[in-house]
Amino acid sequence: MSTLAPGDTLDHYRIDSVVAHTQMSTLYRATDLNSGRELAIKVPSPEIEADPVLVERFKREQDIGQELDHPGIVKAFDNEERSRPYMAIEWVEGRLLRTILNEEKKLPIERASTIAHRICDALDYMHKHGIVHRDLKPENIMVDNNDQIKLIDFGIAMKEDARRLTFVNVSSLLGTPDYISPEQVKGARGDQRSDIYSMGIIFYEMLTGRVPFVGSNPLAVLNERVLNDVKPPRDINPEISPELEEILFRALERVPRHRYATASEMMWDLENQEQVGVEPRGERPDGNLNRSPHRRKKFLIYSALVAVPVLLLALILILARK
């Protein structure tokens, strides 16, 4: 398929400009010539169009966008007759949360809490419709001038009752190392609690100006996430209250069953911070949380068990890039 340039038409859409180009697709700003409405057109790359599995993945993303109807989630328009595969999506004004964080580093606590609450509201709606985003990160969140948000890019989102797809291009479809949940690192499909973990990482970054796990390469970041607790955020930003820190700890539990079970639970705590009970959490000199001798023994066993899948994931990433 030929590429599109400003001034070209695609069915009844006029291409106005190129917004972004990735390995998987190109996003254009366009105008609907029938209605005059401004919108975005997402066109898959030729590699996707040639792969039936990836075409199915693209179609699933379109179906999800059409099914969801929430002010905090980008909307895809009806799947009308088209001359080639593409998605017509509402045009969203604003800036990526990533752009805001790059410019401002950390956000004021009240603003960060407001944005986090609005993201949780969108997640709660999405999860109640059986859909998990699986790649929640600042690059996939738009923020307007009033700090209203839109979740975008459902490229690896999943319907809970959908069959699992196997991808050729593994490296670009696993999620992002800085925000992926520990269970996804270990190869699990992930569920709504995986999105809550990613939300916790984003909230931590908004409040402290940094992500909780860093490393010299993606494998090191993934390994840190699976084996270690987060550094207490109040050590980085003392303005964070103990209750707000507790909310972060609950969202960032390594074991899914210890996390918030739903985004609405996290929303409630954000709305009622004075009622959040702060659990005693000891701290070691290295900044990690203390564990009892029994828990330390379990931790060592757990660490040994997860080392193998982490190494396998790293091998997959390396092979995929080749």
- Over 70: is that where the pLDDT of 65 sits? yes
Supply the pLDDT for residue 288.
42
Percent of the chain at pLDDT exceeding 70: 81
What is the Cα gyration radius of the chain?
A: 21
Q: Would you call 161 exposed, middle or buried from its count of C-beta atoms within 10 A (0-12, 13-18, 19+)?
A: exposed
Whole-model pTM? 0.81
- Over 70: is that where the pLDDT of 220 sits? yes
Length of the chain: 322
Average pLDDT over the chain reads: 83
3-state secondary structure string across 11-25? CCEEEEEEEEECCCE
Supply the pLDDT for residue 83.
87
Extents of the domains making up the chain: 9-90, 95-321
Place of tokens 């050590």: 235
pLDDT, one tens digit per residue, over 157-181 is 887 665 554 443 433 445 578 898 8
Supply the pLDDT for residue 282.
58
- Over 90: is that where the pLDDT of 300 sits? no
| pLDDT, mean of residues 227-237 | 91
Of 57, 26, 22, 23, nearest to 8 by C-alpha is 26
Structural fold of domain 95-321: Transferase(Phosphotransferase); domain 1 (1.10.510)
Q: Rounded to an integer, what distance in angstroms lies between the CA atom of residue 173 and that of residue 135?
A: 9
- Over 60: is that where the pLDDT of 294 sits? no
Is 147 noted as a catalytic residue in this protein? no
Supply the pLDDT for residue 287.
38
Q: 135, 178, 229, 269: which is the annotated catalytic residue? A: 135
Q: Rounded to an integer, what distance in angstroms lies between the CA atom of residue 145 and that of residue 247?
A: 26
- Over 80: is that where the pLDDT of 118 sits? yes
Q: Do 88 and 13 contact (CB within 8 A), yes or no? A: yes
Q: Which of these ranges, 100-109, 153-162, 299-308, has the smallest mean pLDDT?
A: 299-308
Q: Assign 222 to helix, strand or coil.
A: helix
Supply the pLDDT for residue 224.
81
DSSP secondary structure letter of residue 62: H
Supply the pLDDT for residue 290.
42
Q: Do 233 and 252 contact (CB within 8 A), yes or no? A: no
| Residue 224 tokens, joined | 């840190």
Supply the pLDDT for residue 311.
54
**What is the signed CA dihedral for 181, 185, 189, 192, rounded to 10 degrees?**
0
Q: Which of these ranges, 41-45, 60-64, 276-280, 291-295, has the smallest mean pLDDT?
A: 291-295
Q: Rounded to an integer, what distance in angstroms lies between the CA atom of residue 76 and that of residue 41?
A: 10
| pLDDT, mean of residues 119-137 | 95
Q: Would you call 112 exposed, middle or buried from its count of C-beta atoms within 10 A (0-12, 13-18, 19+)?
A: buried
Of 182, 264, 196, nearest to 225 by C-alpha is 182
- Over 60: is that where the pLDDT of 79 sits? yes
pLDDT, one tens digit per residue, over 25-58 is 899 999 999 999 999 999 988 877 777 777 777 8
Structural fold of domain 9-90: Phosphorylase Kinase; domain 1 (3.30.200)
Q: Do 237 and 207 contact (CB within 8 A), yes or no? A: yes
Sign, CA torsion 240/102/213/115: positive
Q: Do 192 and 157 contact (CB within 8 A), yes or no? A: no
- Over 70: is that where the pLDDT of 134 sits? yes
Hey, which of 14-23, 68-77, 167-176, 297-306 has the most confident mean pLDDT? Answer: 68-77
**Of residues 15 and 289, more confidently modeled:** 15
Supply the pLDDT for residue 321.
46
| pLDDT, mean of residues 139-164 | 84
Supply the pLDDT for residue 301.
44
Of 47, 38, 34, nearest to 15 by C-alpha is 38
| Residue 253 tokens, joined | 């539990």
